[in-house]
Amino acid sequence: MSISVIGAGAFGTALAITLAQNEPVTLWARDATQAAGMQERRENMARLPGVTLPENVTITAELGDTDLSDVVLLAVPMQKIGAFLREHPGRFDGKTLVSCSKGIDVATLQGATALIRQNCPNARAAILTGPSFAADIARGLPTALTLACTDGCEALQTRLSTPTLRLYRTSDTTGAELGGALKNVYAIGAGVVIGAGLGDSARAALMTRSFAEMQRFAAAQGALPETLAGLSGFGDLVLTCTSPLSRNLQFGLSLGKGGAFDRTITVEGVATAKAVSILAEKQAIDTPIAKMIAALTNQEISVREAVQALLARPLKQE
């Protein structure tokens, strides 16, 4: 019995480091050169420089090295989860697969747990999400996250919790994954507001109305209101809309300023905004902020046009 983490980016590496306090961890990297370098230097110099990997973390590029693990954390970009699972049919039978990605798959309009159930029907699906940055987790700073699964969640909660990583459990996988997905969209909007010089009052207004929009959209998918009010919804929204470490916020800042952004950096909110807009249109859900962010990121409208459109909406009761 052991734990494996699939994906040696910043978040996957951070999870491997903290979970190694409980038991040995296998960390899989797609790139063999990266894996060998991390194994030798005991450091992820590209993503988490200055943080030492514990000796009971084994870094490998051989996926077979994870076969003995009964719990596997998927720390790969949301838009690549489906393809990764389809590449390895049957490999994860009987295991617990815990998605650590945030977003909605734009190709299928599904969340991570749905992709797990579809592609790995003999595995148990769970999701780990909430307000967190990889550097904080890796350095042992106090962090609280939501663990969502429909069965056996209490045992998994105990196993994945560490002295500095506190997990709260829920059976509402839909709400947990939508909170983590949607906050990325609205963090782009918060960045646009600040980048365009519209002020902190405007950001507070956008965050508040975004939270209402998150709840409305998630409820239409069957999520529980209390899940969105928790760590995976409101908590993650606050962190991502206010911290300069947020990639989605930084991307929004560049949009608001009209500047360039490093396109090699993963910004999950872009694809998720598109997916949310498509789903909202199909289901007749009012999501004006997500719609504007999708149009902005797709270069269909300007920042000024987006702001004017939102401010010109009919007055309503809160």
Q: In this structure, are 121 and 191 located in the same domain? A: no
Q: Which of 95, 102, 183, 291 is catalytic?
A: 183
pLDDT (tens place) for every residue of the chain, 318 residues total: 789 999 999 999 999 999 999 999 999 999 999 999 999 999 999 999 999 999 999 999 999 999 999 999 999 999 999 999 999 999 999 999 999 999 999 999 999 999 999 999 999 999 999 999 999 999 999 999 999 999 889 999 999 999 999 999 999 999 999 999 999 999 999 999 999 999 999 999 999 999 999 999 999 999 999 999 999 999 999 999 999 999 999 999 999 999 999 888 889 999 999 999 999 999 999 999 999 999 999 999 999 999 999 999 999 998
Number of domains the chain is built from: 2
Q: Which pLDDT score is estimated for 64?
A: 96
Let me know the angle formed at the C-alpha of 94 by 92 and 98, rounded to the nearest 5 degrees: 60
Question: Is 135 a domain residue?
Answer: yes
**CA distance to 43, 143, 283, per residue, from 76 (Å):** 19, 20, 29
Let me know the angle formed at the C-alpha of 11 by 9 and 15, rounded to the nearest 5 degrees: 115
Q: How many CA atoms lie within 13 A of 13 on its CB side?
A: 28
Question: Is 56 a domain residue?
Answer: yes
Question: Is 317 a domain residue?
Answer: no
Q: Which pLDDT score is estimated for 266?
A: 86
Both tokens of 34, joined, read 């990266």
Report the CATH number at residue 64: 3.40.50.720
Q: In this structure, are 212 and 241 located in the same domain? A: yes
Q: In this structure, are 165 and 194 located in the same domain? A: no
Q: In this structure, are 159 and 191 located in the same domain? A: no
Q: In this structure, are 187 and 281 located in the same domain? A: yes
Q: In this structure, are 156 and 187 located in the same domain? A: no
Give per-residue burial for 36-64: e unless 16+ CB within 10 Å, then b: ebbbeeebbeebbeebebeeebbbbbebe
The tens digit of pLDDT for each residue in 43-81 reads 999 999 999 999 999 999 999 999 999 999 999 999 999
Let me know the angle formed at the C-alpha of 177 by 112 and 274, rounded to the nearest 5 degrees: 75
Q: Which pLDDT score is estimated for 264?
A: 83
Q: Which pLDDT score is estimated for 253?
A: 97
3-state secondary structure 182-231: HHHHHHHHHHHHHHCCCCHHHHHHHHHHHHHHHHHHHHHCCCCHHHHCCH
Q: In this structure, are 149 and 229 located in the same domain? A: no
Instruction: Point out the domain boundary residue: 142, 171, 200.
Output: 171
Question: Is 211 a domain residue?
Answer: yes
Q: In this structure, are 214 and 155 located in the same domain? A: no
Contact 82, 74 (CB under 8 A): no
Q: Which pLDDT score is estimated for 164?
A: 97
Q: Which pLDDT score is estimated for 308?
A: 96
Instruction: Point out the domain boundary residue: 133, 152, 171.
Output: 171
Q: In this structure, are 278 and 196 located in the same domain? A: yes
Q: In this structure, are 167 and 186 located in the same domain? A: no
Distance CA 147, CA 128 (A): 5
Cα Rg, the chain, nearest whole Å: 19
Question: Is 152 a domain residue?
Answer: yes
Query: Alpha helices, DSSP H only, in 47-165?
Result: 78-87, 112-119, 134-138, 153-160
Domain hosting 128: range is: 3-171
Threshold 0.85, pTM exceeds? yes
Q: In this structure, are 158 and 196 located in the same domain? A: no
Report the CATH number at residue 190: 1.10.1040.10
Q: In this structure, are 16 and 48 located in the same domain? A: yes
Is 183 among the residues known to form the active site? yes
Q: Which pLDDT score is estimated for 265?
A: 87
Instruction: Point out the domain boundary residue: 110, 139, 171.
Output: 171
Contact 253, 267 (CB under 8 A): no
Question: Is 116 a domain residue?
Answer: yes
Question: Is 318 a domain residue?
Answer: no
The tens digit of pLDDT for each residue in 119-170 reads 999 999 999 999 999 999 999 999 999 999 998 899 999 999 999 999 999 9
C-alpha dihedral sign at 92, 38, 19, 103 = negative
Question: Is 176 a domain residue?
Answer: no
